[in-house]
Copies of this chain bind each other. A is one copy, B any other.
Amino acid sequence: MRLAIVGATGAVGHEFLRVLENSPLQFSELRLYASPRSAGSKLTFKGKEITVEVMPEGPIAADVILASAGGSISKTYAPVWVEGGAVVIDNSSAFRYDADVPLVVPEINGDAALKHKGIIANPNCTTAIAAVAVYPLHQRFKVKRMIVSTYQATSGAGAKGMDELLHETRRYFDGETVGNQVFAHPIPFNLIPHIDSFQDNGYTKEEMKVVWETHKIFGDDSFKVSCTAVRIPTLRAHSEAITLELEKPATPEEAREILSKAPGVQLVDDPGNKVYPMPLNASGKYDVEVGRIRASLVFDGGLELFVSGDQLLKGAALNAVQIAEYLQAKGALPSGEVAAG
Protein backbone atom coordinates (compact mmCIF):
# COMPACT_ATOMS: atom_id res chain seq x y z
CA MET A 1 0.00 0.00 0.00
CA ARG A 2 1.26 3.42 -0.97
CA LEU A 3 0.70 6.18 1.57
CA ALA A 4 0.97 9.93 1.04
CA ILE A 5 0.71 12.88 3.36
CA VAL A 6 -0.39 16.23 2.01
CA GLY A 7 0.51 19.13 4.30
CA ALA A 8 3.46 17.18 5.71
CA THR A 9 5.31 20.19 7.08
CA GLY A 10 2.53 21.54 9.30
CA ALA A 11 1.92 20.79 12.96
CA VAL A 12 -0.46 17.94 12.12
CA GLY A 13 1.86 16.70 9.36
CA HIS A 14 4.65 16.42 11.89
CA GLU A 15 2.39 14.35 14.16
CA PHE A 16 1.39 12.10 11.24
CA LEU A 17 5.02 10.98 10.93
CA ARG A 18 5.40 10.35 14.67
CA VAL A 19 2.12 8.43 14.84
CA LEU A 20 2.95 6.37 11.74
CA GLU A 21 6.29 5.35 13.26
CA ASN A 22 4.36 3.50 15.96
CA SER A 23 1.36 2.45 13.93
CA PRO A 24 0.47 -1.09 12.87
CA LEU A 25 -0.52 0.36 9.51
CA GLN A 26 1.36 -1.49 6.79
CA PHE A 27 2.53 0.45 3.78
CA SER A 28 5.27 0.03 1.20
CA GLU A 29 5.79 3.66 0.28
CA LEU A 30 5.46 6.97 2.08
CA ARG A 31 5.56 10.21 0.15
CA LEU A 32 5.29 13.66 1.62
CA TYR A 33 3.78 16.69 -0.08
CA ALA A 34 3.51 20.35 0.78
CA SER A 35 3.22 23.74 -0.87
CA PRO A 36 6.11 24.93 -3.07
CA ARG A 37 7.21 27.16 -0.16
CA SER A 38 7.76 24.18 2.15
CA ALA A 39 8.75 21.56 -0.41
CA GLY A 40 12.38 20.52 -0.55
CA SER A 41 12.73 20.30 3.20
CA LYS A 42 13.57 16.91 4.67
CA LEU A 43 11.57 15.13 7.35
CA THR A 44 12.68 12.12 9.32
CA PHE A 45 10.69 8.90 9.40
CA LYS A 46 12.12 5.95 11.30
CA GLY A 47 15.56 7.49 11.16
CA LYS A 48 15.51 8.03 7.40
CA GLU A 49 15.15 11.37 5.71
CA ILE A 50 12.31 11.90 3.27
CA THR A 51 12.35 14.94 1.01
CA VAL A 52 9.07 16.82 0.90
CA GLU A 53 7.77 17.16 -2.65
CA VAL A 54 5.65 19.87 -4.20
CA MET A 55 2.03 18.79 -4.18
CA PRO A 56 1.13 18.07 -7.82
CA GLU A 57 -1.78 19.78 -9.54
CA GLY A 58 -3.22 16.43 -10.58
CA PRO A 59 -3.66 12.97 -9.07
CA ILE A 60 -1.24 11.53 -6.54
CA ALA A 61 -0.01 7.96 -6.98
CA ALA A 62 -1.08 6.65 -3.59
CA ASP A 63 -3.63 4.25 -2.17
CA VAL A 64 -4.29 6.38 0.91
CA ILE A 65 -3.77 10.12 1.23
CA LEU A 66 -3.75 11.72 4.65
CA ALA A 67 -4.62 15.35 3.92
CA SER A 68 -4.05 18.22 6.30
CA ALA A 69 -3.36 21.21 4.13
CA GLY A 70 -6.53 23.21 4.85
CA GLY A 71 -10.09 23.26 3.58
CA SER A 72 -9.54 24.97 0.25
CA ILE A 73 -6.79 22.57 -0.86
CA SER A 74 -8.95 19.61 0.14
CA LYS A 75 -12.05 21.05 -1.53
CA THR A 76 -10.19 21.43 -4.83
CA TYR A 77 -7.93 18.39 -4.88
CA ALA A 78 -9.58 15.61 -2.87
CA PRO A 79 -11.98 14.79 -5.74
CA VAL A 80 -8.99 14.72 -8.12
CA TRP A 81 -7.09 12.35 -5.81
CA VAL A 82 -10.16 10.10 -5.51
CA GLU A 83 -10.50 10.14 -9.29
CA GLY A 84 -6.88 8.97 -9.39
CA GLY A 85 -7.74 5.95 -7.25
CA ALA A 86 -6.80 7.08 -3.73
CA VAL A 87 -8.80 6.95 -0.54
CA VAL A 88 -8.54 10.40 1.06
CA ILE A 89 -8.68 10.80 4.82
CA ASP A 90 -9.22 14.50 5.13
CA ASN A 91 -8.48 16.51 8.26
CA SER A 92 -10.23 19.67 7.03
CA SER A 93 -13.88 20.58 7.46
CA ALA A 94 -14.42 20.67 3.66
CA PHE A 95 -16.44 17.47 3.38
CA ARG A 96 -17.50 16.70 6.94
CA TYR A 97 -21.13 17.62 6.44
CA ASP A 98 -21.60 15.98 3.05
CA ALA A 99 -24.20 13.24 3.34
CA ASP A 100 -22.07 10.73 1.40
CA VAL A 101 -18.83 11.42 3.30
CA PRO A 102 -18.39 9.42 6.50
CA LEU A 103 -17.17 11.39 9.52
CA VAL A 104 -15.32 8.89 11.63
CA VAL A 105 -13.93 8.34 15.10
CA PRO A 106 -12.91 4.66 14.88
CA GLU A 107 -13.80 3.88 18.52
CA ILE A 108 -17.35 5.09 17.80
CA ASN A 109 -18.35 4.58 14.19
CA GLY A 110 -15.44 2.83 12.47
CA ASP A 111 -17.93 0.89 10.32
CA ALA A 112 -19.08 4.13 8.72
CA ALA A 113 -15.60 4.42 7.18
CA LEU A 114 -16.22 1.25 5.18
CA LYS A 115 -19.04 2.98 3.29
CA HIS A 116 -16.84 5.73 1.89
CA LYS A 117 -16.96 6.90 -1.70
CA GLY A 118 -13.32 7.92 -1.74
CA ILE A 119 -13.30 10.59 0.97
CA ILE A 120 -13.47 9.99 4.71
CA ALA A 121 -13.58 13.05 6.95
CA ASN A 122 -11.60 13.37 10.16
CA PRO A 123 -13.60 15.30 12.75
CA ASN A 124 -12.96 18.65 14.34
CA CYS A 125 -10.45 18.27 17.15
CA THR A 126 -12.72 19.51 19.94
CA THR A 127 -15.49 17.21 18.81
CA ALA A 128 -13.28 14.13 18.55
CA ILE A 129 -11.93 14.64 22.07
CA ALA A 130 -15.39 15.07 23.60
CA ALA A 131 -16.87 12.26 21.52
CA VAL A 132 -14.59 9.48 22.76
CA ALA A 133 -15.48 10.41 26.33
CA VAL A 134 -19.21 10.95 25.87
CA TYR A 135 -20.10 8.15 23.45
CA PRO A 136 -19.67 5.27 25.93
CA LEU A 137 -21.99 7.16 28.30
CA HIS A 138 -24.42 7.85 25.45
CA GLN A 139 -24.55 4.15 24.61
CA ARG A 140 -25.51 3.25 28.15
CA PHE A 141 -27.55 6.23 29.37
CA LYS A 142 -28.50 8.13 26.20
CA VAL A 143 -27.64 11.81 26.16
CA LYS A 144 -30.54 14.28 26.15
CA ARG A 145 -28.57 17.51 26.50
CA MET A 146 -24.82 18.11 26.27
CA ILE A 147 -23.33 21.45 27.27
CA VAL A 148 -19.67 21.98 26.42
CA SER A 149 -17.28 24.79 27.38
CA THR A 150 -13.87 24.46 25.79
CA TYR A 151 -10.37 25.44 26.84
CA GLN A 152 -8.55 25.20 23.53
CA ALA A 153 -4.81 25.28 22.99
CA THR A 154 -3.01 27.45 20.48
CA SER A 155 -2.05 24.29 18.55
CA GLY A 156 -5.58 24.44 17.16
CA ALA A 157 -4.21 27.15 14.88
CA GLY A 158 -1.27 24.95 13.92
CA ALA A 159 2.43 25.46 14.56
CA LYS A 160 2.05 29.18 13.92
CA GLY A 161 -0.49 29.40 16.76
CA MET A 162 1.92 27.85 19.23
CA ASP A 163 4.73 30.03 17.88
CA GLU A 164 2.64 33.16 18.41
CA LEU A 165 1.90 32.24 22.02
CA LEU A 166 5.58 31.66 22.78
CA HIS A 167 6.91 34.60 20.78
CA GLU A 168 4.41 37.11 22.14
CA THR A 169 4.83 35.87 25.71
CA ARG A 170 8.57 36.44 25.36
CA ARG A 171 7.82 39.95 24.11
CA TYR A 172 5.69 40.51 27.23
CA PHE A 173 8.68 39.67 29.42
CA ASP A 174 10.96 41.85 27.32
CA GLY A 175 8.63 44.78 27.98
CA GLU A 176 7.64 45.01 24.32
CA THR A 177 4.15 45.54 22.98
CA VAL A 178 2.37 42.20 22.72
CA GLY A 179 0.78 41.74 19.33
CA ASN A 180 -1.19 39.22 17.34
CA GLN A 181 -1.30 37.96 13.77
CA VAL A 182 -2.66 34.43 14.02
CA PHE A 183 -5.27 35.13 16.70
CA ALA A 184 -7.87 37.88 16.75
CA HIS A 185 -6.29 39.43 19.86
CA PRO A 186 -3.08 39.02 21.86
CA ILE A 187 -3.14 35.59 23.50
CA PRO A 188 -0.47 35.77 26.25
CA PHE A 189 -2.15 35.86 29.69
CA ASN A 190 -5.48 36.35 27.91
CA LEU A 191 -8.27 34.21 26.50
CA ILE A 192 -10.31 34.70 23.33
CA PRO A 193 -13.92 33.41 23.13
CA HIS A 194 -13.73 33.35 19.35
CA ILE A 195 -12.50 30.38 17.28
CA ASP A 196 -13.30 30.25 13.57
CA SER A 197 -15.91 32.61 12.10
CA PHE A 198 -19.16 33.79 13.65
CA GLN A 199 -22.40 32.35 12.26
CA ASP A 200 -25.75 34.12 11.99
CA ASN A 201 -26.96 32.48 15.20
CA GLY A 202 -24.16 34.08 17.24
CA TYR A 203 -22.22 30.83 17.61
CA THR A 204 -18.83 30.42 16.02
CA LYS A 205 -18.34 27.78 13.37
CA GLU A 206 -16.06 25.97 15.85
CA GLU A 207 -18.96 25.80 18.31
CA MET A 208 -21.38 24.60 15.64
CA LYS A 209 -18.91 21.94 14.50
CA VAL A 210 -19.25 20.37 17.94
CA VAL A 211 -23.03 20.30 17.50
CA TRP A 212 -23.09 19.06 13.91
CA GLU A 213 -20.24 16.59 14.17
CA THR A 214 -21.25 15.02 17.47
CA HIS A 215 -24.64 14.23 15.94
CA LYS A 216 -23.10 12.83 12.77
CA ILE A 217 -20.44 10.71 14.52
CA PHE A 218 -22.95 9.31 17.03
CA GLY A 219 -25.42 8.69 14.18
CA ASP A 220 -28.05 10.30 16.38
CA ASP A 221 -29.31 13.85 16.31
CA SER A 222 -32.10 13.34 18.82
CA PHE A 223 -30.19 15.10 21.61
CA LYS A 224 -29.28 18.73 22.03
CA VAL A 225 -25.73 20.09 22.09
CA SER A 226 -24.40 23.53 22.85
CA CYS A 227 -20.85 24.81 23.00
CA THR A 228 -18.80 27.82 24.00
CA ALA A 229 -15.36 27.62 22.39
CA VAL A 230 -12.56 29.56 24.01
CA ARG A 231 -8.89 29.86 23.08
CA ILE A 232 -6.61 29.93 26.11
CA PRO A 233 -2.83 30.41 26.40
CA THR A 234 -1.82 26.75 26.39
CA LEU A 235 0.36 25.05 23.78
CA ARG A 236 -1.38 21.79 22.96
CA ALA A 237 -4.19 19.57 24.31
CA HIS A 238 -7.70 20.94 24.38
CA SER A 239 -9.78 20.64 27.54
CA GLU A 240 -13.55 20.69 27.88
CA ALA A 241 -16.05 20.99 30.72
CA ILE A 242 -19.04 18.84 29.79
CA THR A 243 -22.47 18.72 31.44
CA LEU A 244 -24.77 15.88 30.43
CA GLU A 245 -28.48 15.40 30.88
CA LEU A 246 -29.20 11.69 30.45
CA GLU A 247 -32.31 9.73 29.65
CA LYS A 248 -31.43 6.94 32.09
CA PRO A 249 -30.03 8.13 35.40
CA ALA A 250 -26.30 7.53 35.89
CA THR A 251 -24.07 7.60 38.92
CA PRO A 252 -20.46 8.81 38.83
CA GLU A 253 -19.41 5.29 39.86
CA GLU A 254 -21.18 3.75 36.86
CA ALA A 255 -19.64 6.37 34.59
CA ARG A 256 -16.17 5.65 35.95
CA GLU A 257 -16.69 1.92 35.48
CA ILE A 258 -17.75 2.43 31.85
CA LEU A 259 -15.02 4.93 31.04
CA SER A 260 -12.30 2.82 32.66
CA LYS A 261 -12.92 0.27 29.91
CA ALA A 262 -13.69 2.65 27.06
CA PRO A 263 -11.31 2.62 24.08
CA GLY A 264 -9.31 5.80 23.57
CA VAL A 265 -10.07 6.97 27.10
CA GLN A 266 -7.84 7.16 30.14
CA LEU A 267 -9.70 7.62 33.40
CA VAL A 268 -7.79 10.30 35.32
CA ASP A 269 -10.09 10.87 38.24
CA ASP A 270 -8.59 10.89 41.70
CA PRO A 271 -9.14 14.49 42.84
CA GLY A 272 -8.16 13.73 46.43
CA ASN A 273 -4.66 13.10 45.11
CA LYS A 274 -4.81 16.10 42.74
CA VAL A 275 -5.32 13.79 39.78
CA TYR A 276 -7.58 15.13 37.03
CA PRO A 277 -7.22 15.87 33.33
CA MET A 278 -4.76 18.65 32.47
CA PRO A 279 -3.04 19.75 29.24
CA LEU A 280 0.33 19.28 30.98
CA ASN A 281 -0.25 15.53 31.09
CA ALA A 282 -2.58 15.02 28.13
CA SER A 283 -0.12 16.55 25.65
CA GLY A 284 1.59 13.86 23.63
CA LYS A 285 -0.78 11.17 24.90
CA TYR A 286 -2.97 9.07 22.59
CA ASP A 287 -5.80 8.57 25.05
CA VAL A 288 -8.16 11.35 26.04
CA GLU A 289 -7.98 12.03 29.76
CA VAL A 290 -11.38 12.02 31.50
CA GLY A 291 -11.99 13.00 35.10
CA ARG A 292 -13.79 15.27 37.53
CA ILE A 293 -16.73 12.92 37.05
CA ARG A 294 -19.56 13.91 39.37
CA ALA A 295 -23.32 13.92 39.65
CA SER A 296 -24.76 16.94 37.88
CA LEU A 297 -26.29 19.56 40.15
CA VAL A 298 -28.64 20.76 37.42
CA PHE A 299 -29.84 17.49 35.88
CA ASP A 300 -31.10 14.70 38.13
CA GLY A 301 -29.19 11.57 37.17
CA GLY A 302 -26.94 13.61 34.87
CA LEU A 303 -23.17 13.91 34.92
CA GLU A 304 -20.46 16.53 34.77
CA LEU A 305 -16.97 15.74 33.59
CA PHE A 306 -13.75 17.33 32.41
CA VAL A 307 -11.64 16.06 29.52
CA SER A 308 -8.21 16.87 28.14
CA GLY A 309 -6.97 15.45 24.88
CA ASP A 310 -4.08 16.16 22.57
CA GLN A 311 -5.52 18.28 19.81
CA LEU A 312 -2.80 17.23 17.35
CA LEU A 313 -3.19 13.51 18.14
CA LYS A 314 -6.73 12.27 18.88
CA GLY A 315 -7.93 15.65 17.65
CA ALA A 316 -6.16 15.25 14.30
CA ALA A 317 -3.25 13.02 13.18
CA LEU A 318 -3.86 10.01 15.42
CA ASN A 319 -7.54 9.73 14.56
CA ALA A 320 -6.80 9.95 10.82
CA VAL A 321 -4.16 7.19 11.04
CA GLN A 322 -6.55 5.11 13.14
CA ILE A 323 -9.12 5.39 10.34
CA ALA A 324 -6.54 4.01 7.89
CA GLU A 325 -5.64 1.24 10.34
CA TYR A 326 -9.31 0.36 10.70
CA LEU A 327 -9.80 0.17 6.92
CA GLN A 328 -6.72 -1.99 6.52
CA ALA A 329 -7.72 -4.30 9.38
CA LYS A 330 -11.10 -4.77 7.70
CA GLY A 331 -9.39 -5.65 4.42
CA ALA A 332 -10.65 -2.46 2.83
CA LEU A 333 -7.16 -1.28 1.90
CA PRO A 334 -4.22 -3.03 0.26
CA SER A 335 -1.65 -4.18 2.80
CA GLY A 336 2.07 -3.93 2.30
CA GLU A 337 5.32 -3.98 4.14
CA VAL A 338 6.50 -0.90 5.95
CA ALA A 339 9.22 0.77 3.95
CA ALA A 340 9.75 4.46 3.96
CA GLY A 341 9.77 5.76 0.39
Query: Is there contact, CB below 8 Å, between A202 and B271?
Result: yes
What B residues does A149 contact at CB under 8 A? 149, 228, 241
When all copies of this chain in the complex are counted, the total is 2
Instruction: Tell me, rounded to whole Å, the shortest Cβ–Cβ distance linking A87 to chain B.
Output: 34
What B residues does A291 contact at CB under 8 A? 193
Give Cα A117 to B248, complex, Å. 47
Give Cα A229 to B78, complex, Å. 43
Give Cα A304 to B211, complex, Å. 15
Give Cα A169 to B168, complex, Å. 12
**A contacts with B: majority SS:** mixed
What B residues does A190 contact at CB under 8 A? 234, 278-280
Q: Which of A118-150 contact B (CB under 8 A)?
A: 145-147, 149
List 30 contacting pairs A-B, 8 Å CB cutoff, sorted by A. Answer: A151-B151, A151-B191, A151-B230, A173-B173, A185-B278, A186-B280, A189-B234, A189-B235, A189-B279, A190-B278, A190-B279, A191-B278, A191-B279, A193-B239, A193-B291, A193-B292, A194-B271, A198-B272, A224-B297, A225-B297, A225-B298, A226-B296, A226-B297, A227-B297, A228-B241, A228-B292, A230-B239, A232-B232, A233-B233, A233-B234
A contact residues vs B (CB 8 Å cutoff):
145-147, 149, 151, 165, 169-170, 173, 184-186, 189-194, 198, 201-203, 211, 224-228, 230, 232-235, 239, 241, 243, 252, 271-272, 274, 276-280, 291-299, 304, 306
In the complex, besides A194-B274, A202-B294, A226-B304, 11 extra interface pairs with C-beta distance below 8 angstroms are A146-B298, A165-B189, A184-B274, A185-B278, A191-B239, A203-B294, A224-B297, A225-B297, A225-B298, A228-B241, A228-B304
